[in-house]
Structures are given as structure tokens and as C-alpha cells.
Amino acid sequence: MVVLDHDGVTGPLWRRRAVSAQVRADLPAHIPSLEELYRTCGAGYELSLDVKDPAALPGILDAAIAAEAEARLWLCHQDWRLMAGWRASAGRAHLVESTNLAWMHEGLGPRLAALRDAGVDALNLHRSQWNHAVLAEAHAAGLRAFAWDAHRREDLDVLLDLGVDGVYSDHVRLMMDAIGARWPA
């Protein structure tokens, strides 16, 4: 069973244990399973998951398929080469490389081409790394442009004005306010 926890460890600092090394019954009650999320919230939304444990991929896909949510699932990882191996089994789920421009030793253009050729759907960069040129290049390669760490309204405004395709933030209300200011209901 796949569970949802950002850090992948539980317990006090002096006795942390990997979630993957624990049985479901021993996990804190606030950690839901992916099945519980879909059962409680349905599947009518885009869901992005940082895949911290690649061994969880089959369980993630099984849960999404069972909930008829596979096409609205975005699987994020920092290793596009690993994700290239996922493409065949990922079905209609989307793949997202979460990375940093400084880690692209081959350069942005070659990385974007490699992502496209590997079947990766989106590039996720820190909010500060997106500009018109990087965005245009990502879109020209056929990739969606996502930005993480957008926790302030000013950051969200800049990213939305720039035209990124998605943002990650810990502040849902701020995101909704920024979107609502541009596209009122």
C-alpha cells in the first residue's frame, strides 16, 4: 500500500524510521494512503506526487488506475533517466523532472531534448530559475513548465504573468487568490 508523506520518515529526530520500513498499522494516523486520498477526495483534480521511493511506482499506478485517475497523475522525480524507464509502465500518467539548471551539465537545450525523447512531460524548476527564454525553450521542446517554491503572492504573480503551466506552493489560498485575480469565475 502506498502512503503519502513528504519526508518519508517518521518519529522523533533521535529515532527516525523510513516509512518504507514500517507496516501501515504502525504509521501515524495523519499519513493517508493514496487509496484513502482517492476514496475521500475523488479523482476530479490533477495530483502531483514526488516519488521518493521508486519501488512504490507500481502501487501508485495501481491506485490511480483503480480510481480512474491515471491521466490526472503527475509523477515527479529528480532523475529523468530513471523516469525514462517508467514511461512504458506509467501509461497515461505524466512524468515531471524536478531539477535545477545548475545540474544540467549538458546545457538546457540538450536536457530538454533528452526529456522529450524519454517521454517526460514537464520540467519543474525552482521559481527563481524561470524567465521568458527558459520558458520559451521548454515550450518549444513540447514540455510543460512547472515552478516549485512559490510561497509568496509576489512569486505566484510573477510566475503566472510569465506563463508557467503549473506552480507548487504550500499555500493553496494564495494560489487560488492569484489565479482568481487573473481569471475570475
User: According to the CATH classification, is domain 47-182 in 3.40.50.1700?
Assistant: no
| C-alpha to C-alpha distance for 131 and 172, rounded to whole angstroms | 23
pTM of this structure: 0.93
One digit per residue, pLDDT tens: the chain, 185 residues? 899 988 888 888 888 888 888 888 888 888 999 999 999 999 999 999 999 899 999 999 999 999 999 999 999 999 999 999 999 999 999 999 999 999 999 999 999 999 999 999 999 999 999 999 999 999 999 999 999 999 999 999 999 999 999 999 999 999 999 999 988 87
Residue with cell 502506498: 2
Domain ranges of the chain: 47-182
Residues with Cβ within 8 Å of 115's Cβ and at least 6 positions away in sequence, in order, are 80, 97, 123, 141, 143
Position 10 scores a pLDDT of 85
Position 27 scores a pLDDT of 87
